[in-house]
Structure 1
Amino acid sequence: MKQMTYHELNPLIRLKEMELLTSEQMSQMLEAADLKTVEGILSGTSYGIYLTVDFPDNFEKIFEQAESDLFTELVPLVPDPNVIWIYTMRSTFHNLKALIKAELLKQNFDELYLFDGFYSLEKIKTAIRNGRATGLPECLLESIQEVREHFEESNSLQGIDIILDRNYLSCQRELAEQIGEPELLAEVISFIDFTNILMTARGIKQKRTRNFMSTVLSSQGSIPKVELLSYIETSLEQLTDYLRSTDYGEMIVTIVQETSLDLTQLERVCDDYLTKFYEAAQTQAFGPLPVLALLNAKAIEMKNLRLIITGKQVGLSTKQIRERMRVIYGT
């Protein structure tokens, strides 16, 4: 396929947006009495072609295939494929975690591989075995090397996730700067900030040490790492007071219960903040934001569908599921 300019691509993106589930469809599924009704509603949407007779047990595979098909369609078309990879990079680093551990443990974790639109299962396995692979970005090769050195020194799998999670955020920032779109860089920095906030709050809750959290938190956000670290051995209340004074204070206020953060709502609000960030994409015709907005909208849509399906499977009430659902793009 021929690569398009964003001006040429974005009409296709608008058409893809029209295939997203509506608020009404999502509400119907939320109120549905059983999963058979949910399946019936989905059958009349873009997910219809993926539905199987054992839908309740295989919905994850259905969503993975729908997302993979979207990546496969868009990657050859976008002016800069890195715009897609900056969004699918989470899957790339997930693959590194699973496949590096498989190599070190002499086991097969191939079933954990997630398609990211770029790097095949075999390419990543080759890089892990040999330390190199044609076409694999330097930040991935460096991550593999760092993990190997860690394992050789410690002979322990502990720390692998920490190294790769930190490198993932650094790679995000590096790629955003390379792409050179100010709005995209702003979104990536916000994502890193939210990730740091979530990890700091969880670190306080789990009574982690400052030294441990220093290895976990990223230095790539706008909130200084040293400031977050200063709250690690204090309390959620003190962290909450500090966060009120940041650029995210307005968001933080909405999830304060009594005097501290409601951690069950923090991740949801972070997702909602980033979704609202993409609202500007609805009027932008010449840059990468619309395609990123579509990918984000699709990911949020699938998160909400997973919440509805798993919520009904475990017996959550409609109210409990609704409280966990994310804002739908464009509403």
Structure 2
Amino acid sequence: MQEIDYKGVNTVLRTYELKLLTEADYDRMLKASSLKDALEVLKGTGYEFDEKETLVNKNFEGFLMKHLAEVYQELFSITPVSEIVELFALRYTYHNLKVLLKQRFSGEDLEQLLIPIGKYSVSSLKKLVETGDGNDEHPIVVEGVQEAIRDFDEGHRIEAATIFMDTYYFRHLRSISDKIQHPSITKMVDGIIDLYNLSTLIRSLKQSKPRGFLYTVLSSSGSISKRDLIEESINGPSAVMRKYYFSKAYGTRLSNMISETTNEVDTQKLDKLVDELTYELVAEGLYQPFGPIPLLGYLFAKEKEVTNIRLILVGKDNQIDEQILRERMRPVYGS
């Protein structure tokens, strides 16, 4: 991958960035006195929806995901290395596989949970789950589905869908990072997987899950050995953090998440840290003329834009205080 390969893409992205919602747009939505007024603000942007229909059915997710799907489709079509877009799109692929596997295992109709975003179409993923064979999908995707099906056939555990798809998602993410060999992307993927492992470890310990469970749910694709994490977990989450995480660039922020009185870790703040670290890395794209980081920056911005719009609309519908909504919002790209 050559940095110059993205010159044309990044030129197009600069025009896309001009259409992103600004802090002023969010401020107007947050100050809106009702859901109707908040939707009025949104009408002046690139989001298409029927205002009257939306006020009745409150189906915000429908038009938000439609908009996001169109963004991903456009970026897949103009990006020279599709794996760059997959870094963010991949989680939708594995979400859809979880849904389809659970549907196969339980016999329930879960079609409404599918999201049409990703390199592979929903119909292609359906065929893979139905037959266990995939011709177009990445080998990691195919292997993950086959292993989940095998595990369910042997033990009839519906949770195999989630456990195997999470494991293979992180393995796939790492394979993309290894292929691209970009320092910022490697750092981002390290942070995503390592902090997922930490969050999962803490939650599992709170639920008194056995060590065997930890070996199953923690990813082996991070920069910290999952065996080391599990061995140290006997001394508690704070000990794990001190031994393996405080030396990281984000270590100081982690130390602030440990309660001085209870020694417990705030997992909600921990999960939010992933967004913060990703934002800090991709925000570099604001100043880079070449390379893949501007594209990731734009994609991250769109993802958080959709998250923020959803938060505000649901908040206005439920009459949640403006200040509470402001505190819950994700970073605004470029601010």
* TM-score of the pair, normalised by structure 1: 0.91
Cα deviation, residue 39, structure 1: 0.6
In the alignment, structure 1 residue 300 sits paired with structure 2 residue 273: no
- Tell me the SS of whatever aligns to 2:220: coil
For residues 281 and 54 of structure 2, the distance between their equivalents in structure 1, rounded to whole angstroms, comes to 33
What corresponds to 2:10 in structure 1? 10
For residues 50 and 106 of structure 1, the distance between their equivalents in structure 2, rounded to whole angstroms, comes to 33
Cα deviation, residue 169, structure 1: 0.3
What corresponds to 2:64 in structure 1? 63
What corresponds to 2:316 in structure 1? 312
Q: Is the 8 A contact 1:281 1:289 kept in 2?
A: yes
Cα deviation, residue 188, structure 1: 1.4
Cα deviation, residue 260, structure 1: 3.6
For residues 255 and 200 of structure 1, the distance between their equivalents in structure 2, rounded to whole angstroms, comes to 15
What corresponds to 2:187 in structure 1? 186
For residues 314 and 231 of structure 1, the distance between their equivalents in structure 2, rounded to whole angstroms, comes to 43
What corresponds to 1:322 in structure 2? 326
Once the two structures are overlaid, the 10-residue window that deviates more, 164-173 or 201-210, is: 201-210
- Tell me the SS of whatever aligns to 2:154: helix
In the alignment, structure 1 residue 280 sits paired with structure 2 residue 284: yes
For residues 322 and 267 of structure 1, the distance between their equivalents in structure 2, rounded to whole angstroms, comes to 18
What corresponds to 2:52 in structure 1? 53
Q: Which residue identity lines up with residue 167 of structure 1 in the other structure?
A: Y
- 1:289 pairs with 287, 293, 300, which one? 293
Gaps of 5+ in 2: none
- Tell me the SS of whatever aligns to 1:39: helix
Q: Which residue identity lines up with residue 77 of structure 1 in the other structure?
A: I
Q: Which residue identity lines up with residue 96 of structure 2 in the other structure?
A: N
- Tell me the SS of whatever aligns to 2:59: helix
Once the two structures are overlaid, the 10-residue window that deviates more, 11-20 or 104-113, is: 104-113
- Tell me the SS of whatever aligns to 1:261: coil
Distance 1:196 1:45, change over 3 A: same
In the alignment, structure 1 residue 216 sits paired with structure 2 residue 217: yes
For residues 17 and 106 of structure 1, the distance between their equivalents in structure 2, rounded to whole angstroms, comes to 43
Q: Is the 8 A contact 2:311 2:325 kept in 1?
A: yes
Cα deviation, residue 307, structure 1: 1.9
Gaps of 5+ in 1: none
Structure 1 runs of 4+ with >4 Å offset = none
In the alignment, structure 1 residue 270 sits paired with structure 2 residue 274: yes
- Tell me the SS of whatever aligns to 1:53: helix
Distance 1:247 1:211, change over 3 A: farther
- 2:254 pairs with 244, 252, 255, which one? 252
* Structure with more contact order per residue of length (Cα contacts < 8 Å, sep ≥ 6): 2
Cα deviation, residue 315, structure 1: 4.0
What corresponds to 1:128 in structure 2? 129
- Tell me the SS of whatever aligns to 1:20: coil
Equivalent residues in 2 for 1:148-227, closer than 5 Å = 148-227=149-228
Q: Is the 8 A contact 1:210 1:232 kept in 2?
A: no
Distance 1:302 1:231, change over 3 A: farther
Q: Which residue identity lines up with residue 246 of structure 2 in the other structure?
A: R
For residues 247 and 216 of structure 1, the distance between their equivalents in structure 2, rounded to whole angstroms, comes to 25
Cα deviation, 1:227-284, whole Å, max 9, x if unaligned, reads 3223544444434544434332122144444344322322222211211111211222
Once the two structures are overlaid, the 10-residue window that deviates more, 118-127 or 229-238, is: 229-238
Distance 1:184 1:55, change over 3 A: same
Cα deviation, residue 22, structure 1: 0.8
Distance 1:256 1:183, change over 3 A: same
Q: Is the 8 A contact 1:276 1:329 kept in 2?
A: no
What corresponds to 1:87 in structure 2? 88
Cα deviation, 1:36-57, whole Å, max 9, x if unaligned, reads 121111111122x334423251
Q: Is the 8 A contact 2:184 2:281 kept in 1?
A: no
The percent identity for this pair of structures is 29
- Tell me the SS of whatever aligns to 2:8: helix
Give the CA RMSD over aligned residues.
Answer: 2.1
Distance 1:328 1:230, change over 3 A: farther
For residues 246 and 14 of structure 2, the distance between their equivalents in structure 1, rounded to whole angstroms, comes to 36
- Tell me the SS of whatever aligns to 1:230: helix
Cα deviation, 1:113-171, whole Å, max 9, x if unaligned, reads 21124212221111112222331111111011101110111022133211110110011
Distance 1:15 1:249, change over 3 A: same
